[in-house]
Chain A
Amino acid sequence: MKRLLQRLLGRLPIGWLQLTHNPMRFAAALVGVAFADVLVFVQLGIMTSMGTATLRPYSFFDADVMISAADANGLTDGGNVARQWLLQAMADPDVIDGMGLLIANAPWDRGDADISLTTFGVDPARPTFIAPDIAGDLSLLEVQDAALLDRLARGLGREAAAAIRPQSPLSFETQGRTLTAYTTFAGGGGFGGDGYMMVSDQTFLALFPARSSAAPDHILLRLRPGADVTAVVARLHRLISDLDLRIRSYADAAQEELTYQKTKRPTGIIFGFGVLIGVLVGLVIVYQVLSTDVADHLREYATFKAMGYGPRFFVSIVLEEALILGILGFLPGFAVGATILAAMGKMTTLPLALTPSMAITVFVGTVVFSALSGAIATRRLAAADPADLF
């Protein structure tokens, strides 16, 4: 390492030699940086997981435009939309089809655990609104009380889920009715529910009698191929007289919910602050280590100043130390962070994982913030006055 640094720096790697001269302090500093990285990894992992979980239900459907109630900040959030607006929207020449989407939570007493399934009521005759990997099984929902079940739902059990097939369906009780799952699709537990279930609109209305087909949660629209979504959305705003409705492209609706979850919901804000706190902890730890190191070596630095070393030399030593701490502290932080996220993902079935982009982001952040701490710590170098040596 010393030789490598000497070759890279073109001088003695004084930062490295200073840090490694006191192995206990060096180890403690690396543990500190690693701890800050673990904090950031875990918070970032949860935030990323929240984003994945937020967008996941959008991936079950295939639509161009979504019409929602004014207070609908997300797919499973907000009031209903009058079905009449679906008919009104169909008047637009570029709108070729529409479907009301019904959503509610269905509790399922599994004996050892009560789970809650976010249930979508869809028209089984409209497979074009359903994602291709699910649409092939949509016809199964034409049978009353039939369901497609999320095989990754929390509390379902992987083996039990794998056994669900049309020839070996699973029947279960929910909302006072017996549903039969004929097959499964890949969803997964999120922050708002344990998994997903898809049923026909008729089965949905039987499960939730208080709901009405005249008032779905959202209206999904398909447009003519090649149609300008933005232009259609603008026309629909003029066409639909309820000015409070949220009419957006389907992609925009998904992004708006993601932004809402991250910036307006308490969970998103808390995890965002968690990342910030991790960064600040790292910044303070590296600054503390470096500024102590500078203070401990003021006499030596003053000697080097007397010998004719200029300010850039001292800044380069402190930055060298900052980068060593940042890079070497990142490695254990990465390992521990990945392990914790994997364990949390296994326990919660949330999509928690340390992704390459997260690793790169945290690595770059660690190096940048370590360098920033180093830059702040160099202010103490001014106290090294060579005239005081005599």
Chain B
Amino acid sequence: MSPIVEITGLNHWFGQAAARKQALFDINLTMARGSFTVLMGPSGSGKTTLLTLIGCLRALQEGSLRLIDQELKDADEAQLVLMRRKLGFIFQAHNLHESLTAGQNVMMGAQVHPGVEADLAARASSHILGLVGLAERVDYWPANLSGGQKQRVAVARALVGGPALLLADEPTAALDKDSASEVIDLLRRLGHKRGMTTLLVTHDNRILDRADRILTLEDGRIVADDVRPSK
């Protein structure tokens, strides 16, 4: 089976002319389908840049990035938008829409796919909220949920569309130990059940022992690639 992510000779810069600064240097990386990979590194090491490139949130400048068997080099904005529908995103902040209930926030993850009727999206969102333990909170506004519950809603929103690849940026940073553990367990369990690949950026050492693979980035370069025995 082909890797879900295949990166070759990737370089990326920010700024123009004299202010131009390279953020990523000659990144070469493949990620197997269904793996749970943690990306670590100090601030400014290029983790987020790499994540946004894999997440089709930035245009590729140099090198090759094949994602779910599609080359992203020279992809236009419309192609990037379509590719993003195959991905799931979890951000450091939950980024739930304050005007939508938990159920409606999750529905947004389902309705991004054309042809998904509102009724089906509502059923799917209720189901997945049940899987993350929030069946009773479907009609709650985000303001009435705890931090851990909000992040679980964000997880449900990312997973409801059945993404092939989940990209998570410090999803446990704002959570206490128990909530963080709960969210990571949830990601592992649901990811495994659905054959989903996860790439998770974190500084949280508590997560490391759950990873199949730990990548370490420093100064824009991958300096360590630690593949763990599968659990």
Contacts and interface: CB of A to CB of B under 8 A. Distances in A.
Given A12-B108, A387-B57, A390-B169, A303 B91 contact: yes
Contacts of A299: 93, 95
B97 to A, nearest CB: 4
Given A12-B104, A307-B108, A21 B84 contact: no
Please report whether the interface of chain A is mostly helix, strand, loop or mixed according to DSSP: helix
A14 B100 contact: yes
Q: How large is the interface on A (under 10, 10 to 19, 20 to 34, 35 or more residues)?
A: 20 to 34
B89 A18 contact: no
B109 A307 contact: yes
Given A297-B97, A300-B97, A308-B85, A10 B118 contact: yes
B99 A308 contact: no
A299 B82 CA distance: 20
B84 A308 contact: yes
Interface string A316-339: 000000000000000000000000
A307 B89 contact: yes
A265 interface: no
Contacts of B98: 21, 300
Contact of B57 (A10, A300, A306, A309): A306
Interface in A168-189: none
Given A12-B104, A17-B99, A17-B100, A307 B118 contact: no
A209 interface: no
Interface in B72-97: 78, 81-87, 89, 91-93, 95-97
A11 interface: yes
A386 interface: yes
B84 A389 contact: no
B68 interface: no
Interface string A283-303: 000000000000001011011
Given A308-B82, A308-B84, A14 B99 contact: yes
A304 interface: yes
Given A307-B85, A389-B95, 8 more contacts: A21-B98, A302-B95, A307-B84, A307-B157, A308-B82, A308-B83, A390-B48, A390-B92
Interface of A: 6, 10-12, 14, 17-18, 20-21, 297, 299-300, 302-310, 386-387, 389-390
